[in-house]
Structure 1
């Protein structure tokens, strides 16, 4: 088990687009951090930076407090399972060869064969699949192979990027159950990425919410989901499927909820969520400060590190003691 930490990580594509903007996030040892946000929020770019597929323009990524250095041919302590099971495996290689290719080079051929069989059984596939080609497998089976291949590299941290979004709904649950079981049995540290808050809720110990390249709320899963502080988190929760839920949002909330996300090339000044915020300046004329003041500057002092000027809780120092949580009532939330 190892701790993965992002400190002020920024990733740019060209000069115009900052896909990840000063992200601070920790994946504690042996825990699952669920990173959630809509498409274009920067989740996958952050994951790609962690495994060396995108070069950070600023900040650093640390594993057990040591900066990560991605060198060709070196062992990779982070392994990633990608979204599309149909493109993550070489169609010309057998399943056994694909898994064996990811193993450390110091293992012998007989031990590699035994390990391939063990990994296939670990992810719920029969050993006779070792000689099959990806084209003979279903999407769910391919994703199981992709998970086995990632585990073959003996990672210290596993990154799962939207691993169920390309699968049929009927098999998403089995893959999620597999991921949760493997994480507990192997005591893996994991960054689990999804746009679906219901999926993140199922597997995560900690939930981090990302919007337009920034983390806008983070905390223990039961706290964030039970008492969300950022309006965007509340919007994601409201959009998550619930049994028997047919209620419609109030007219004011519906007005901004239907607004298009901002262009990431030109993020809004102040609070980046303000053009869509149901408690922001489009609804409340007394909140023009949201147009110009960046709420991330004081996020560390709010409950769940919420990047919102109107979060319901703040941290305040009391005497010489460490900061304690003070709940403040907000008349509009």
Structure 2
């Protein structure tokens, strides 16, 4: 088991003048053998952060570390960080059999007979019959393909698995079965996992810790129960308020809430707190809170409960909180 650490990671596309910073100074730790759920609306930078960890997006600043090793120094083949992608229909080569797709990810030097045996074992791990190895992806359902994608990631014998919205493209009827499988495999193998989702119910079910991302930055982090029972950042509360009925009513809606507005332009993010143009606790509702639009709350986040990047979040009590291990 290994820990995955993002240390002040930024990912920038394009030129300085016209480019886009999709991830901006993210520091986050995925502890060894644990699952960190990463949530946020579309465009917040979740998938870009995940792709940076596996070398698919360029790290413009900072570093992604597996234990103490920069992942950019790791070999590209059989890298110990593997990713399961969102779309099960495009993550597998339609011309390769299921068995060949899984075997392709295995370390070099494994003999052909051993590969066949390992493919059969991995298919059983993801609850598929071993005889499926001989068929093509087009003969499988979306849920079955996602199981194969998980088996393919496990074939590389990874220390860390990143799951990027792996149930969002599946029918509701099979989402639960895939989640149960992922949770069972993670616990049995003791995998370190970064689990990305926009669904808070899914994250609560599968994760030990929760990180909330908005416009390229982490705005709150802690254990799942800490964050969901006592959210400190207004954006986290808005996510909870917009969740299905299980969470509705847990927090009273602000009558002057403005978070229904569109997110800020990521090419030209607002100064101060990036959430302040939509925030029900910010200057649009409370004109005396000009600090929100002028001072970046990230500078005081370490002193706040759950490291919340909000000027008006509660000050953390003296003593270590469980979220400190994630920063």
1:3 aligns to what?
3
CA distance in 1, matches of 2:246, 2:227: 21
In the TM superposition, residue 324 of structure 1 has moved relative to its aligned partner by 6.0
Q: CA deviation at 1:251?
A: 2.9
C-alpha distance in 2, partners of 1:207/1:151?
A: 24
Alignment RMSD, CA only? 1.6
Alignment of 1:160-179 (within 5 A): 160-179=163-182
Q: Counterparts of 2:314 and 2:275 in 1: how far apart (Å)? A: 17
Distance 2:229 2:249 in 1: 20
d(CA) in 2 for partners of 1:175 and 1:239? 24
User: Which of 290, 294, 310 is the matching residue for 1:308?
Assistant: 310
For normalisation by structure 2, the TM-score amounts to 0.94
Quote the Cα distance in structure 2 between the aligned partners of 1:285 and 1:69: 46
Report the equivalent of 1:275: 277
Aligned counterpart, 1:237: 240
Q: TM-score, normalised by structure 1?
A: 0.92
SS of match in other structure, 1:257: coil
CA distance in 2, matches of 1:246, 1:293: 32
The Cα shift of 1:243 comes to 4.4
Selected match of 1:67 from 63, 67, 70: 70
The runs of 5 or more residues in structure 1 that have no matched partner are 317-322, 326-333
- CA–CA distance in 2 between the matches of 1:275 and 1:146? 40
C-alpha distance in 1 between matches for 2:280 and 2:254: 10
Describe how 1:50-129 pairs up with structure 2 within 5 A.
Answer: 50-69=53-72, 73-129=76-132
- What does 1:219-234 align with in structure 2 at a 5 Å threshold? 219-234=222-237
2:13 aligns with 13
Q: How far apart are the structure 2 equivalents of 1:101 and 1:324?
A: 45
CA deviations 1:136-181 (Å, max 9, x no partner) are 0000000000000000000010000010011111111111111101
Separation in 2, partners of 1:214, 1:127: 43
CA distance in 2, matches of 1:310, 1:148: 45
Are the counterparts in 2 of residues 11 and 57 from structure 1 also a CA contact under 8 Å? yes
8 A Cα contact 1:70 1:76, kept in partner: no
Larger deviation: 73-82 or 160-169? 73-82
How far apart in 2 are the matches of 1:189 and 1:21?
24
What CA distance in whole angstroms lies between the structure 1 residues aligned with 2:155 and 2:145? Answer: 15
* 1:301 CA displacement: 1.2
User: Matches of 2:320 and 2:219 in 1, distance apart?
Assistant: 21
Q: Deviations over 1:208-242 (max 9, x none)?
A: 00000000000111101111100001111111112
Helix, strand or coil at the partner of 1:172: helix
Q: Which residue of 1 aligns with 2:161?
A: 158
Aligned to 2:300: 298
User: Equivalents in 2 of 1:57, 1:64: separation in Å?
Assistant: 20
Equivalent in 263, 266, 286 of residue 265 of structure 2 = 263
How many residues get paired? 317
- Indicate yes or no: 2:188 matched with 1:185: yes
Query: 1:269 and 1:152 mapped to 2: Cα distance?
Result: 45
